[in-house]
Amino acid sequence: MTGQACDSLTLPRRSGTQGKQMKQSTMQKQHWRAPQHTSNNLLTRRAFLKLAGTAFLATAAGCASKTAPPAATPSARGRAVEIALTAQEASWELAPGKRITAWTYNGSVPGHPIRVREGDHVRVLFTNRLSEPSTIHWHGVDVPAAMDGVPDLSQRAVQPGATFTYEFDARPAGTRWYHTHADSARQLDLGLSAPLIIEPQAGDPGADREYTLLLDDWVTGSLAPTPPPADNGMMGGNMMGGMMDDAGPAYDTFTINGKAFPATAPLIVRQGERVRLRLINASNMQTFVLSLAGHRLQVTHTDGNPLQQAVEVDALPIVPAERYDVIFVADHPGRWPLYALNRPHTQGGLKTLIVYEGSESAPEAELPSLAPGLRVWSYGLGQGVDRLPQPSGHGATYQLTLSGGMMMSGDPNVWTINGKVYPQTDPLVAERNQLISVRLSNMSMQTHPFHLHGQSFRVLRVGGQTLPAPLIKDTVDVPAMMGTVDLEIVAFNPGDWMFHCHKPMHMDGGMATLVKVA
Ligand code: C2O
Ligand code: CU
């Protein structure tokens, strides 16, 4: 079934390399079992029906539409796209000899990748074949509140055997993702997450080739439940992330698209290409600091939203739930590791190889040793393109103090906002289209990647330092030990929205509140 392979995570742009890519994609998808009423997420229903009657179906579905636009030109109202997602158990091999029972969307890890165009009307027919209630949250998408997937807030959780139809317009464009929002600390850990890519209608500079890489952390039981040692070379706020956990499961395996090195799929490139990586951190606890040996990375998007200019860096920290789009220029033939600067992450499998065509048998370049003067991404380096609507006026200003954990509350599983745990926390209130200001101050020993549902926000200041131009994000890292972040929310999407730490253990431990937009 070519159509399935075409939905895979790699999207070659050049026809000359398609054969190779397709084979690889098919291999990645071995465990993929098609749901009964699957429909293609790259074609309009009309185009699909037209094609369905022809012998061209197998080759026309999916891939062809990537290199040539689909038959139907998108109208302002967008296409109607229907996707069937089934949450189900599947046996999954993270690496040779490391087989787990994963919780999946449509049988694969990551779950079934969705790729649509901005403005498309998306209908997702969700079936829960798990043994527990579940929901789907569309992270970074401006969905209507009833489609947001938070149990008991936006909907009743979908019971085992039951179905639910999610319906929303795909907005805004960018690298988004979707995941469970029920019993997150457990369900997200078991694999219920997947990429959701919304292509812009226009104005995408594009790349010659593109890969989407979803990064994740796993507990397979090969480590004793003690925190891994801090990596000496990489002290400092952002870098420590997952290395400072004072409680919780011992994450021992780290994956790129569901595979730990050496099982990761190599990324094939051709000399001279501009290659885009869409990076999604779906892990529960890890800040992954990514680097590509022999190349610099140009950061072009934060959480799917464009920067005014690309920012060139040697290493890119990504906190849980953040996404970055980066471009690298393939100007250095060979076989180069894409890896994490925190050695325990790389040793645990977070590594793949960039392989130039023609260099397939070249020796693998060694991991560079940490050099002083390494240029590491931080929020202050980027200048966002402000796409938020004009506010109607200024509302309240909120101060949220984040605390908890062993050091602050004496209980590793209690996490607070202004001393309270959800649902006792005080909500933030805004009238529709009002601008509200929020200062997040972190008194605890851990970083808290804070996420707002339903609308993105502006990041204005970090640690009291004003950014050269606000970043547009939906997830912001609040650094540990007195870190502060100032942000502005233009409350354009009516409803009650979760605003919470995206480390699910912290969210379940109370670090969550609501933004109520009337
Ligand atoms: Cu990505 Cu409330 O979640
Ligand atoms: Cu947290």
What pLDDT is stored for residue 223 in this prediction? Answer: 63
For ligand 2, the distance from its centroid to the CA atom of residue 435, given in whole angstroms, is: 25
Q: Which two tokens stand for residue 43?
A: 């074609």
Q: How far is CA 37 from CA 112, 163, 178, 490, in A?
A: 14, 13, 20, 39
* pLDDT classification of 224: cutoffs 50, 70, 90: low
What pLDDT is stored for residue 247 in this prediction? Answer: 55
Strands 193-199 and 114-117: parallel
pLDDT digits (tens, 9 = 90+) for 20-34: 333 333 333 323 233
pLDDT digits (tens, 9 = 90+) for 278-316: 999 999 999 999 999 999 999 999 999 999 999 999 999
For ligand 1, the distance from its centroid to the CA atom of residue 148, given in whole angstroms, is: 9
What pLDDT is stored for residue 364 in this prediction? Answer: 95
Helices (H), 43-157: 45-52, 57-60, 63-67
As for ligand 1, residues whose beta carbon falls within 6 Å of it are: 137, 139, 179, 181, 321, 451, 453, 498, 500, 502
Which residue's CA lies nearest to atom 1 of ligand 1?
139
Which residue's CA lies nearest to atom 3 of ligand 1?
139
Residue 246: other Cβ atoms inside 10 A = 12
Nearest ligand to residue 445 Cα: 2
| Spatial distance between the Cα atoms of 449 and 478, rounded to a whole number of angstroms | 6
Reference 431, options 395, 400, 404; nearest CA is 395
Atom of ligand 1 lying closest to residue 507 CA: 2
Q: Which residue has the higher pLDDT, 45 or 438?
A: 438
Amino acid at site 494: P
For ligand 2, the distance from its centroid to the CA atom of residue 445, given in whole angstroms, is: 10
| Spatial distance between the Cα atoms of 201 and 260, rounded to a whole number of angstroms | 35
Residues at Cβ < 5 Å from ligand 2 ion: 448, 501, 503, 506
Nearest ligand to residue 444 Cα: 2
What pLDDT is stored for residue 231 in this prediction? Answer: 37
For ligand 2, the distance from its centroid to the CA atom of residue 320, given in whole angstroms, is: 10
Sheet with 80-95, edge to edge strand ranges: 98-105, 80-95, 121-128, 163-169
pTM for the full predicted model: 0.84
Nearest ligand to residue 323 Cα: 1
| Spatial distance between the Cα atoms of 454 and 494, rounded to a whole number of angstroms | 9
Q: Would you say residue 60 has pLDDT above 60?
A: no
Percent of the chain with pLDDT over 70: 80
Atom of ligand 1 lying closest to residue 500 CA: 2
Q: Is 443 exposed, middle or buried (0-12, 13-18, 19+ CB in 10 A)?
A: middle
Reference 348, options 467, 271, 242; nearest CA is 242
What pLDDT is stored for residue 34 in this prediction? Answer: 30
Q: Where are the beta strands (DSSP E) in 57-160?
A: 80-95, 98-105, 114-117, 121-128, 137-139
pLDDT digits (tens, 9 = 90+) for 316-335: 999 999 999 999 999 999 99
Contacts of 414 (CB under 8 A, 6+ apart): 404, 405, 421, 509, 510
Q: Would you say residue 146 has pLDDT above 90?
A: yes
For ligand 1, the distance from its centroid to the CA atom of residue 177, given in whole angstroms, is: 10
Nearest ligand to residue 242 Cα: 2
Atom of ligand 1 lying closest to residue 150 CA: 2
Q: Which two tokens stand for residue 414?
A: 């209690």
Cα angle for residues 316, 320, 322 (degrees, 5° grid): 60
Please state, rounded to an integer, the average pLDDT across all residues of the chain: 84
Q: Would you say residue 79 has pLDDT above 70?
A: yes
